[in-house]
Structure 1
Amino acid sequence: MRLAIIMDQSSDKPSFEDIQIPIPFGYVSAKWWGPRDKQPIIAIHGWQDNAGTFDPLIELLPKELSILCIDLPGHGRSSHIPPGIPYYIFWDGLVILRRIVKYYNWSNVSILGHSLGAAIGFLYAASYPDDTEMLISIDTVAPVIFDPSEIAKNTGTNIDKFLYYESLGSDKMPSYGYSDMIDLVMDGHHSTLTRKACEILMKRGMYPVKDNKYFFSRDTRLKVNRLVLPSYETVIEFAKNICCHYLMIKAVPGRVRDNWPLFKNVLDTIEEHTNDFTYVEVEGSHHVHLNNAPIIVPHILSFLKRIYPI
């Protein structure tokens, strides 16, 4: 099944429906934008974000476009991974994505990913090259790449952190007023997110408790995100398998701590193995799609029009 796109856009904004997709330990919550009778682009958010991260972008795209924005397990409104089990965020996401594809019996999958979501899309496109039609990556190419010595040195510390966060019951979790919650999110992103962007994320990222206070909805265990990372050599081997239509949108300066020289090598490898490779740079921070969606819309529309002629 190929993605059907009608690029004739009216002045009306796209609309969505909140849905739940069953999984063995609960459900994946999602926002399904546009028609339900078309196979959607599957949109996957970044680490500790949620499906709302794509709201500003999708509101600028044609309303006839079908897009399924999921909350990964432990994020947004989706079920948390069962107690006692760590998050292996890249691999968890890959399995969840495949579950969703098989649940709906889709083929020729199209993926839009930001950060962690882009890395999951990378793994999917490499693991299922014959079943991936298109991948749009925003400001991340692949799973994070660390020096092996750093991984070995920090593994014990990360396990202990996981056990600590696991021990925190809801009675030990702090609650905050709305304004304080938004301040915390801005501080956590080192002010690279606008206040409006934080408020958009927190529509799904927090829930009310008593006395006009709020809890974060994400699983605290997600803070431990560096277990079972692939080596650089493994990432390169994955990259060799990608043959779908590929668009990379790199924010500049983006996320400055990324090991960009290594990611550039990964991009070069992808370019060698696919017949349709597009790389563009836009001015902005890591969350450029959320802070300044209009700047990336022309690149996405141009890419889609080329793949799916009107």
Structure 2
Amino acid sequence: MSEEKINGHKIDTGLPAGVTVEEIEIPVPWGHVAGRWWGPRYKQPLIAIHGWQDNAGTWDNLIPLLSPTTSVLCIDLPGHGLSSHYPTGMLYYVFWDGISLLRRIVKHYGWSKVSLMGHSLGGALSFMYAASFPDEVDRIICIDIASPAVRVPEHMVKTTGWAIDKLLEYENLSEDKIPCYDYEEMIDIVVDAYKGSVSRDNCKVLMKRGMAPTPAHLKKKGYHFKRDPRLKVSGLAMMSLETALAYATKVKCKVLNIRAIPGQNWERLDYYKAVVEKLKETADVRYVEVEGTHHVQLNSPENIVDILEDFLEEY
């Protein structure tokens, strides 16, 4: 095993000696998208996409367990991790923005077909991309999610005004009002926020890309969260069950859906299952339940690595 020094604190990376990973940047009109490219660069990679308000570090425990010949590009979505934030005046429609971003990456590298792996929001984006470009996706792996978050229309209508006001509040948050904490206090906050889904040690793994020292000119000691606070307003990106099912009918690729138990505390688990059943009408779907929290790929990667490798080898 190896260690890194992150923000002055020694962190066990958990990476076996010899595992290769390279930090990359992909240009986009508003800046860049950061990523970690694991394994060979001469092979087209599996694109891995993290969950809402997480970052590419969510794969740091899983990828090293795969064959070292597996090539995986783990990206930080806009506003997350080390990727550029959107300019002032823009808002995040996390599901729709993600499809556009994946399309930009595919065009940037000139790939004709892709394979995608996503956790939570990332799994929803994999589903949406496969439905939007059904002839250009070989396979998708969705971890503890089946489609974008589904809400009844009444819920979306009710929360729209609140979401817009909250967005403007975050947009007008002055730099000196950004909260700063010492390292262990910040980790405490993250642990509490994940409500048991991510262990304390794995929160430190995520925070390698999710926090940064407070800028010197603010004359404050400590660290702040790197992610864009506007990401907290995600209510404008939901869809109805009918819309999710309509997208599901367009997916034609191989699908691996891994649901963690107890995993996410789904408001309507029947919606999740309905999307999986709809997918089976047009796609070759493998649905597997495993023991783990919602962040099973980070907290218990050993519970899914064999399932992933079998799927990748078979297809």
Instruction: Please tell me whether residue 96 in structure 1 is matched to residue 101 in structure 2.
Output: yes
Instruction: Please name the residue that 1:43 is paired with.
Output: 48
1:297 to 287, 302, 305: 305
Instruction: Please name the residue that 1:170 is paired with.
Output: 175
Instruction: Please name the residue that 1:14 is paired with.
Output: 19
Alignment of 1:132-143 (within 5 A): 132-143=137-148
Secondary structure in 2 aligned to 1:227?
A: helix
The structure-2 alpha-carbon separation of the partners of 1:105 and 1:203, relative to structure 1 and needing over 3 Å to count, comes to same
Q: Which runs of 5+ in 2 are unaligned?
A: 1-15
Distance apart, 1:212 and its partner CA: 4.8
Distance apart, 1:229 and its partner CA: 2.3
Instruction: Please name the residue that 2:10 is paired with.
Output: none
Instruction: Please tell me whether residue 148 in structure 1 is matched to residue 157 in structure 2.
Output: no
Secondary structure in 2 aligned to 1:272?
A: coil
The residue identity in structure 2 corresponding to 1:80 is: H
Instruction: Please name the residue that 2:133 is paired with.
Output: 128
2:266 to 252, 257, 264: 257
Matched residue pairs, number? 296
Alpha-carbon deviations, 1:76-103, whole Å to 9, x = none?
0000011111110001111000000000
Alignment of 1:1-310 (within 5 A): 12-209=17-214, 210=216, 212-274=221-283, 276-307=284-315
The structure-2 alpha-carbon separation of the partners of 1:164 and 1:73, relative to structure 1 and needing over 3 Å to count, comes to same
| Paired residues of 1:250 and 1:281 also in contact (CA < 8 A) | yes
Distance apart, 1:12 and its partner CA: 5.0
Q: Percent identity?
A: 50
Structure 2 Cα separation of the partners of residues 257 and 82 of structure 1: 33
| Paired residues of 1:136 and 1:246 also in contact (CA < 8 A) | yes
| Paired residues of 1:143 and 1:230 also in contact (CA < 8 A) | yes
Secondary structure in 2 aligned to 1:19?
A: strand
The residue identity in structure 2 corresponding to 1:183 is: D
Structure 1 Cα separation of the partners of residues 176 and 68 of structure 2: 43
Alpha-carbon deviations, 1:237-279, whole Å to 9, x = none?
11001111110000011111342101111100111111x2101
Structure 2 Cα separation of the partners of residues 90 and 269 of structure 1: 20
Secondary structure in 1 aligned to 2:62?
A: helix
| Paired residues of 1:51 and 1:76 also in contact (CA < 8 A) | yes
Instruction: Please name the residue that 2:13 is paired with.
Output: none
| Paired residues of 1:87 and 1:225 also in contact (CA < 8 A) | yes
Instruction: Please name the residue that 1:6 is paired with.
Output: none
| Paired residues of 2:94 and 2:237 also in contact (CA < 8 A) | no
| Paired residues of 1:14 and 1:62 also in contact (CA < 8 A) | no
Q: Please provide the CA RMSD for this pair.
A: 1.1
* Poorly superposed stretches of 4+, deviation over 3 Å: none
Q: Which moved more, 1:256-265 or 1:140-149?
A: 256-265
Structure 2 Cα separation of the partners of residues 229 and 149 of structure 1: 12
Structure 2 Cα separation of the partners of residues 13 and 236 of structure 1: 44
Q: Which runs of 5+ in 1 are unaligned?
A: 1-10
Structure 2 Cα separation of the partners of residues 190 and 305 of structure 1: 35
Distance apart, 1:226 and its partner CA: 1.0
Alpha-carbon deviations, 1:155-185, whole Å to 9, x = none?
1011111111111122110101110111000
